[in-house]
Amino acid sequence: MTMSTIDFTGRVAIVTGAGGGLGRLHALGLAQRGARVVVNDLGGAVDGSGGSATAAQKVVDEITALGGQAIANGASVTDFAAVQAMVQQAMDAWGRVDVLVNNAGILRDKSFAKMELADFRLVLDVHLMGAVHTTKAVWPIMQAQKYGRILMTTSSTGLYGNFGQSNYGAAKLALVGLMQTLSLEGAKHGIHVNCLAPTAATRMTEGLLPPDVMAAIQPEAVVPAMLVAVSEQAPTRAILCAGAGTYESAHITLSQGVHLGLTDDTPERLLAQLHQVMSLDHATVPGSGAAQGENEVRQALAARR
């Protein structure tokens, strides 16, 4: 099998939350393959409190020491005006933006019963609206260029759930929904949009997992999936999963279902056949949301013949 080289020479990338952990490695990985990088980080704590530009500048210094080009930015992704200024900073410096890696995030974990609504909203604001702000700011540039690569950072918590993370999970699955539609809208402009679900030992996971597990899930092993997802050869509408050197993909599927019609006893018949309705035999990955209605109407019309 012939392998294509992943090269970002001449490309400009913005990585949010890049002052440490996985974001730092994303920024370094892109820079090592030729990208000029805007290293964005508010410099706050894991829960989103505080802020300092020092973290971003340290990563910039690392990149420049290796011979790369980078600039630091301390904008909060929750501040759209500041995000717009960050994108303009990239345009003023290098005249284009090719890659956006939405990595910034915080945690405010508690069981749903004990969680304050303010903590729920804040996590949604940083993860979901933060990605919306950055994507909205780069979108017209990428449209004009007829080229763009955008990566949303989702999570297994969003895809499959995790106790004590209802706010985080809601935000992370919302990013998948955002990706699904943006990939359709961006297709004619050469904009590819994907999601990455990482499993990595970072300050977000510190103390939550046993030492041997933490040792196995070093964040460096996630970076290859990021590089693929924002490369020229990238797919679009993919949910890539990565951890411990293992790479998977997740899919939102639609079962074949059962046509039951509408009668007084349809609820009872649906209950009786729920196992078949939920069966993944012959399940598909729809190309768009229209597929659900098409499947339903097709079966309804077939039943009338």
Active site residues: 168
Tell which residue, 198, 149, 139, 175, has the closest CA to residue 13.
Answer: 149
Task: Report the Cα 242 to chain-centroid distance in Å.
Answer: 12
Give the C-alpha separation, 241 to 198, whole Å: 6
Task: Confirm if 97 and 73 have CB atoms less than 8 A apart.
Answer: no
The DSSP code sequence of 46-96 is TTS----THHHHHHHHHHHHTT--EEEE---TT-HHHHHHHHHHHHHHHS-
Task: Confirm if 17 and 11 have CB atoms less than 8 A apart.
Answer: no
Give the C-alpha separation, 286 to 278, whole Å: 16
Give the C-alpha separation, 54 to 47, whole Å: 18
Give the C-alpha separation, 219 to 200, whole Å: 5
Task: Give φ, ψ of 239 to 5 degrees.
Answer: -110, 100
Type of residue at 25:
L
